Amino acid sequence: MASHRRPKQPSRTRVTVLTATAAAAVALTSQAAQADPKPTKKEVKAKVDKLYEEAENATEKFNGVKEKQDKLEKQVGDLQDKVARGQGELNELRNGLGSMATAQYRTGGIDPSVQLMLSSDPDSYLDKASTLDQLSTKQAEALRKIADKQRTLKQQRQEASTKLEELAETRKTLAGNKKEIQGKLSKAQALLNSLTAKERAALAAAEAERANRASSRADLGNALPSSQRAGAAFSAAQSKIGSPYVWGATGPSSFDCSGLTSWAYSQAGVSLPRTSQSQANAGQRISSQSALKKGDLVLFYGDLHHIGLYAGNGQILHAPKPGASVRYESINNMPFQFGVRV
C-alpha cells in the first residue's frame, strides 16, 4: 500500500543556516558592488606626490643622522688613534722603568752604611751612592708619568666606549630612516604600477614637459646676486639642470634638495651644513620674497624640509623630488617660509 505521509519539513536550525548563508552572499555581492573604484590617474598622481614629499622629509632626517654618524665615526677613529699612541707611550715608560730597576738591582741591594764600612774606596762608594739616588729620583718621576698616562688612557677608552655606543644607536636610527624612505618610495611605485602602461607614460611625459618648460622658458629677469660667492653658487647649480633627484645624494651627478645647495656653495668655497634645517641657520634670514636676490637659499614648508636657490623673478632652482630633475620652478608652488643670505 502506498504511503501518504506528509514529507518531513526542514528543521528550524537548517532554515536559519540557509537564511544566514544567503544573507552573507547578498552582503558580499553588495560589498563588491560598492567597493571603491580603481583610482583615477589624477588621484594616483596626487597620492604619489604626497608620498614623494613625505619621502623627501624623511630624506632630510636621514641626512641629519648620516652627518652625525660621519662625525661620530671620525671622533671614534681619532680617540682610537690616541689610545693606540698612548698605549705605545705607556709601554715605553714601563720599559724604561724596568731598565732602571734592573740597573739598580745590579748595583747590589746592600745597606749603604754597611757597604760604606766594607768599601776600600769611600770616594768611589759615594759616587755610586749618588748614582743610586739619581736612579731613585728617575724611577719616581717615571712612576708618576706612568700613573698619569694610565689615567689619560682610561679616560680616552671610556670616551671611545661612549662614542661607540652612541654610534651604534645612530646607525640604528639611520637604518630606520632608510627603511622609511624606501617604504614610501615603494608605495609610490606600487600606485604607479596600478595604472596602465599608457597612463604611466602620460604622467612621465607630463613631468618631462613640465621640467623642460620650466628650464627653457624661465624668465629670471635682471636679478643680481647678493655677493660674488652667491653668484658662483648659483652658476654651479645652473650647470646641473637636468640632473636627477636621488635621496641622500650630494652630487656631482645626482642630488637631493639640500645636497644641491650644499654642493653649489662648496663650488664657491663655502661650506654649508648637510640638511635644509641646518642650512636655514647658515646666514642672514630674509623674510620677504621681494627682498630675495639670486643665489639666496629659499626654505619651504613649516618643518623646513625643502630648500632651493632663488633664481630671480619669482623663480627658484632646486632638486624637486624623487622622479624629477634639477629645474626652475615658481616660488609659489610650495609654501615659502623665508630666505637665507649666506
**Residues catalogued as catalytic:** 257, 306, 318
Are 296 and 206 in contact, with CB atoms under 8 Å apart?
no
Are 211 and 328 in contact, with CB atoms under 8 Å apart?
no
Residue 198 is placed in which grid cell? 599608457
Q: What are phi and psi of 210, to 5 degrees?
A: -60, -40
The runs of H, that is alpha helices, within the chain are 12-34, 41-106, 112-118, 122-193, 197-216, 228-238, 257-267, 276-279
- Determine the Cα–Cα distance for residues 59 and 50; give it in Å rounded to an integer: 14
- DSSP conformational letter for 327: E
Cβ count near 59 (within 10 Å): 32
**To which H or E segment does residue 68 belong?**
helix 41-106
- Determine the Cα–Cα distance for residues 192 and 197; give it in Å rounded to an integer: 9
Q: By three-state DSSP, how is residue 110 classified?
A: coil
Residue 280 is placed in which grid cell? 636655514
Residue 200 is placed in which grid cell? 604611466
Are 265 and 229 in contact, with CB atoms under 8 Å apart?
yes
Strands 336-341 and 327-330: unpaired
- Determine the Cα–Cα distance for residues 320 and 215; give it in Å rounded to an integer: 13
- Determine the Cα–Cα distance for residues 280 and 83; give it in Å rounded to an integer: 38
Q: For helices 41-106 and 257-267, what crossing angle results, to 10°?
A: 60
